[in-house]
Chain A
Amino acid sequence: MARLSRRRLLGSAAALAAAPALPRPAIAQAQVCRIGLILPMTGPFASTGRQIDAAVRTWLRMNGETHGGRRLEILLRDDTGVAPDTTRRLAQELVVRERVNILAGFGLTPLALATAPVATEARVPMIVMAAGTSIIVQRSPFILRTSFTLPQQAMPIAEWAAANGIRSCATMVTDYAPGHDAEGAFKRRFLERGGQIPLELRTPLRNPDYAPFLQRVRDARVQALFVFVPSGEGANVMKQFDERGLRQDGIRLIGTGDLTDDDILNDMGDPAIGVITSHFYSAAHDSPENREYVAAFRQGYPNMRPNFMSVGGFDGMRLIAEGLRETGGNLDGQRLVDAMRGKSWISPRGPITIDRETRDIIQDVYIRRVERRDGQLWNIEFDRIPQVRDPGA
């Protein structure tokens, strides 16, 4: 008697162990649209992940979970941001095991590039909410982007500099692909407009010490310095910039908005005041949509200020909802992608469009200056270039 029940026990234990591997009953999934959100929640790029995650949850809180007849379900996965093979594997698992209908997130370029073939083969829309290299959208016909591209952001500041009396400018970028992209785009436009770049510097990706590079900039006696560094390094650069005496020498500090990331701008202190950058989003953007967004965001996350990464997540969700509404809840990958192309709306950042041909984002880029208002530091917009397309690498 004892023997039989042990066997049965083992049998049911084995069945229980195998249960997660069995496909879930079809009925439970009928009304749900599952979104696999792959973000760097830990590691050096954790702030990107946290901002986007916060924005996604904010959007759901503001707009509800049901769109086009489907309830949106988010499956969040942490890929740590440093191992593209992990991101790809997580995407594979989400598609194969969890049967997600949409992939989203992707904090950096190599992570998106590694996952592109998975989206293509599984025929699943892939919404890139953070990564910023031009070629990403070309790697799969299922990719749509709601973030930005670096050339799109670097070009306007080159225009502004040339149009505002800056003739000679040095460039200092971090020595990796996004840095090269930013340097290339700035250089091309600035030289086209008649400016000169007597000094081009690249700082190491790891453990950078900006002091010797800034010293060279000082010795080169240029009028301005264009900087691109990964978000988070901006504070170091600005501190060293002041400490070296470049500001006293009259050298102006310009760059893309990564330098004055809203997430940490307030902690940067006085060295940041007066820095001019070009970017597509400022938490201080003066529009009803943005005011509503920032208020709702801070309601859920009182210690965070939304930054440019977060709007990528916010608008990504809107794009998904718009797509579902048009297909009437149909989850077929190709139909969703076709429904999402060409969509336009007013985002917290301003008017945006997802290009019908390239599936890339077209948005306004603003020129802003860091100013102190109400005791806090903000990027205050004072000029705007409307509907900028990605000019390509």
Chain B
Amino acid sequence: MSTPLRLALQALFWGGWASAYVLLPEYLPLLAQIAVVALFVLSLDLLVGYAGFVTLGHAAFFGVGAYAAGILAQQGWGEPLSGLLFGAAVAALVGLVTAPLVLRGGDLTGIMVTLGIAMMLYEAANRMAWLTGGADGLQGVEMWPILGIWRFDLFGRTAFVYSLLVLFLLFLLARLIVASPFGLALRGIKGNRRRMEALGTPVKARLIAVYTLSAAYAGVAGALLAQTTQFVSLDVLDFHRSADALLMLVLGGMGALYGAMIGAILFMVAHHTLSELTPQFWQFWIGIALIALAIAGKGGLLGLARRALARLPRR
């Protein structure tokens, strides 16, 4: 794809999303929620798409970030930006500690350990109701205005701009990381781990690093959710969050940051639309779409789009 075309499409993507502030003012809460989910799927892409490490328990970091930021605000410190950093830090710590456990053994073992850890965290949050509010949820989360000026309002305006901005900045950071030598090393590890080892790359260290980074990103996404909805409950740690994120990632196309975000947007929009039309058959139609997509395309929707674009006659 030519560079001017690529730049134009990227400008369209971000510009279009931002312009929703004026064009679709009544859909801002939905778009803010989509931004949060897109960030979460982005974090998963770093791990699954670039490093080739499949996980079924990524919601663990999302949830940890959400509870960290939520509890911080509940205990009296409602400043949003530092709350995000706190959420990221706590999630990164959990990621760092669990990474060595997860990286032992083969693929299936790793997947099951991530799953097990996520489930254990869910049960722990349920049990520690004195801290997390348990199944009823964390209440009394009150956020201060961002930079002292912008209050979180009912229309979701502040939440929208805040979430989109955080997503954009973290996306830029991710792009830098992915293009760096570290990012290239990850891709090498995904492609052929043994050869990378032979080249002298400290594979285990790299994997632990990307696992921690991915956890931090997921933690920010969770913290964003807690701050924009002023509520946290057990579902942030639930298995369906991890599974949905993986689906969105594969749908959109792994190993490409835009793929992650596009998958998230399309899945959420489809869910919202189909759910309003046919509340009971959302599952059926999304299932059909997934089957068709799996049989048809490699690389998800982005892959399909790339192939379609490649077929266009060159000007």
Contacts and interface: CB of A to CB of B under 8 A. Distances in A.
Q: Is there direct touching of A and B in the complex, by C-beta distance under 8 Å?
A: yes
Interface of A: 18, 21, 41-42, 76-78, 82-86, 88-89, 92-93, 95-97, 109-110, 113-114, 117-118, 121-122, 133, 135, 139, 175-178, 180, 204-205
Contacts of A76: 279
Contact of A78 (B24, B127, B156, B279): B279
26 contacts: A18-B23, A21-B27, A42-B280, A42-B282, A42-B283, A78-B275, A82-B235, A82-B238, A84-B137, A84-B235, A85-B231, A86-B33, A92-B155, A92-B156, A95-B154, A96-B154, A110-B135, A110-B136, A110-B233, A113-B231, A114-B137, A176-B126, A176-B135, A177-B129, A178-B135, A204-B123
A86 B228 CA distance: 12
Interface of B: 23-27, 29-30, 33, 123, 126-127, 129, 134-137, 139, 153-156, 225, 229-231, 233-235, 238, 240, 275-276, 279-280, 282-283
A200 B203 CA distance: 50
Contact of A114 (B26, B27, B231): B231
B137 A96 contact: no
A110 B137 contact: yes
Contacts of B230: 117
B46 to A, nearest CB: 24
A332 B216 CA distance: 45
B136 A21 contact: no
A78 B274 CA distance: 11
- Main SS class of interface, B: helix
Contact of B154 (A83, A109, A118, A180): A118
Contacts of B23: 18, 21
A96 B235 contact: no
B135 A177 contact: yes
B26 A85 contact: no
Contacts of A175: 126-127
Nearest to A109: B136
A95 B156 CA distance: 12
Contact of B26 (A96, A113, A117): A96
Nearest to A133: B136
Contact of B279 (A42, A86, A96): A42
Contact of A121 (B33, B134, B154, B276): B154
A77 B231 contact: no
Contact of A77 (B29, B137, B225, B276): B276
Given A42-B282, A176-B135, A21 B24 contact: yes
B65 to A, nearest CB: 14
Contacts of A83: 235
